Amino acid sequence: MYRTGIRLIQRVRRRRLSEETEQVLAESAGIANRQEVKASRALANLRDSTYPTITLGTTEWGQGVALPLDTLWTHGLVLGASGAGKSYTALWIMVCALELISQILKNGRNALFPAFGVLDAKGELFEKTIEYIYAFLYRLEPEAREALKKKLTVISFTGPQVTPYNILSRREGMADELIVADRIDTISEQFSGLSEMSVRMKMIAKYFFLLMAEFDLPLPFFERLCSDPILLDGLVERAKNPQVRDYFQHRFGDESQSTLLALRQRIDSLLMSEGVRLSFSASSAPDFAALQDNGHLTLINTAGRNIPRGISELIQGIIISDIKQSTFRRSHSNQKFLWFVDEAQHPFKSAVNREHMVELLTMSRSFGSFFVLLTQSLTSAIRDADVLNSILSNVRWMVMLRSTLRDAELIAPAIPLTGTMSKPRHHALEPMKRMSESEELRTRLKEIPKLPDQEAYVWLKAHMHQALKIRTERVPSPLDIAGCTAEEFDEFVRSEELGQGVAKETIMKESAEREERLRAMLRPQTIYLPTVTEKKRTHTLISTLEAEYGKKK
């Protein structure tokens, strides 16, 4: 009798458990379906745009997440741990853009390119992008191939060719004082801590840089001016800036030699890499305003085997500053330009670069320039809540791959909740309980650090309140795009030169010519010696005058 009662109770509990489970699953399926229908309609509306579209991936129910260019060419954020697929997400967007560009060139249409740039402080994304550009060049006809090469600018500080980048060259629409102040702030950030630049060092650098900018002298010339007082005095006498003349004529002599020596050592440490030194020795610098206005594909690599990480980040900071200044003086904002900033946590480490990035994210959309930040972790690099909120409020779309739980919380407001997720049970007879919204959200967020490669949440903030879980697209290999063998592709790469780099010998020759101009400018005035022709003319004139004088007499 006792055993029969126990079996009856167990049967009733199992039936009740089964009924509750079916009810929860049914409710969950109904809510999921409603969410899917709503999201599906939003995606269909995006696909129906008059702009070309790029598919970021596929939803769990098999629908493609196709975004029109006017939606994708806006501020974005891609977060993901190493190997999760962060770089390949950016590569996929660029490969699709290159496909559209190739079609424009093949058809000979006069259309705006979906132009983009890469700013890479590590070099990996830069190298991969170059490889894919070669793949598209390979399959283009010669005329279209040359047209694409003319639209390509490669800025690198390593290799047989380097990019001219005189960081003290004058900029159109900018006063020398603003350029110099910005350069000093960027350089001084490199020496924060024990080797921090003092106020006196910054003031000395200010007047040296102003003098050098006026006479078109690059940064490596700083050491020459410090060690050659005759040259320095000669330039000061000819300087048009009264503040510069006053400083060197009345105050520079009182500066401590130890302070000047410490400054010289710091400037010299920035030029340890031969490629960086030669690049900074050139007389020109890239015009990022023109590159963006003309839709140039601009690839920038600040890393290199012989470039210390600190110097790479310094160069990145200088370039970000130049991009900011040039973006705000663009003249053709109808040509949208999308910058992919890899290792984007680095620019937010220093106060100066952080300020530049916040200004760009806040105001550059009015000038047609946009930024996609690629980073393994944003919260570890940015501890300032105001800066973090500024970034999140300005990005229009976000891709969250496998990330830390702390970064996963950035997408928490968009995580879809069903309200039907059950709490884990400790034994079979425990009644089923549903999670609260906060408990369900926490459970969903804990899944993000465990996501497989190429799985992500995509949040289209301007179009959907909730994020979509997707499988990102597989990027075809360069050989698949080129349609050739590895040997044929390697031979093509060796035969084609990309970008507008300059041979090292050319920059060395340019430096020698600059030295000659300086010597000529400072050379003492010599007694003028007339030429043979001038002597004959003078002799004839004197003879004529003597003859006339003789007649009168």
What is the pLDDT confidence band of residue 526, given thresholds at 50, 70 and 90? very low
**Distance separating alpha carbons of residues 197 and 184, to the nearest angstrom:** 10
Answer yes or no: are the C-beta atoms of 84 and 402 closer than 8 Å: yes
**Distance separating alpha carbons of residues 476 and 471, to the nearest angstrom:** 15
Please report which residue ranges of 395-523 form alpha helices under DSSP H: 405-408, 437-447, 478-482, 486-495, 504-522
What is the pLDDT confidence band of residue 25, given thresholds at 50, 70 and 90? very low
Tens of pLDDT, residues 311-364: 998 899 999 999 999 999 888 778 999 999 999 988 888 888 999 999 999 999
Please report which residue ranges of 48-85 form alpha helices under DSSP H: 69-72
Q: What is the mean pLDDT of residues 232-250?
A: 94
CA 393 to chain centre: 20
CA 448 to chain centre: 27
Relative orientation angle of helices 351-363 and 176-190, to the nearest 10 degrees: 130
What is the pLDDT confidence band of residue 529, given thresholds at 50, 70 and 90? very low
Find the helix or strand (DSSP H, E) in which 372 lies: strand 369-375
pLDDT at 539: 54
pLDDT at 106: 86
Q: What is the mean pLDDT of residues 219-240?
A: 92
pLDDT at 26: 45
CA-closest candidate to residue 249, choices 238, 236, 230, 231: 236
Q: What is the mean pLDDT of the chain?
A: 86
**Distance separating alpha carbons of residues 300 and 500, to the nearest angstrom:** 12
**Distance separating alpha carbons of residues 341 and 299, to the nearest angstrom:** 11
Please report which residue ranges of 282-416 form alpha helices under DSSP H: 288-293, 309-327, 351-363, 385-394, 405-408
pLDDT at 51: 83
- Classify strands 369-375 and 337-341 as parallel, antiparallel or unpaired: parallel
Q: What is the mean pLDDT of residues 169-185?
A: 88
pLDDT at 233: 92
Amino acid at 294: N
**Distance separating alpha carbons of residues 539 and 532, to the nearest angstrom:** 11
**Distance separating alpha carbons of residues 287 and 32, to the nearest angstrom:** 51
Answer yes or no: are the C-beta atoms of 309 and 140 closer than 8 Å: no
Q: What is the three-class DSSP state of 161?
A: strand
Q: What is the mean pLDDT of residues 300-317?
A: 89
Task: Kindly report the backbone phi and psi dihedral angles of residue 121, in degrees, each rounded to the nearest multiple of 5, phi listed first.
Answer: -95, 0
pLDDT at 530: 53
CA 334 to chain centre: 20
Find the helix or strand (DSSP H, E) in which 267 lies: helix 257-269
Tens of pLDDT, residues 465-513: 899 999 999 999 999 999 999 999 999 999 988 877 788 888 888 888 8
Residue 384: pLDDT over 70: yes
Tens of pLDDT, residues 424-471: 877 776 778 888 888 889 999 999 999 999 999 999 998 888 999 999
pLDDT at 7: 54
CB neighbours of residue 368 within 10 Å: 19
Q: What is the mean pLDDT of residues 143-170?
A: 90
pLDDT at 548: 58
pLDDT at 504: 84
pLDDT at 159: 77
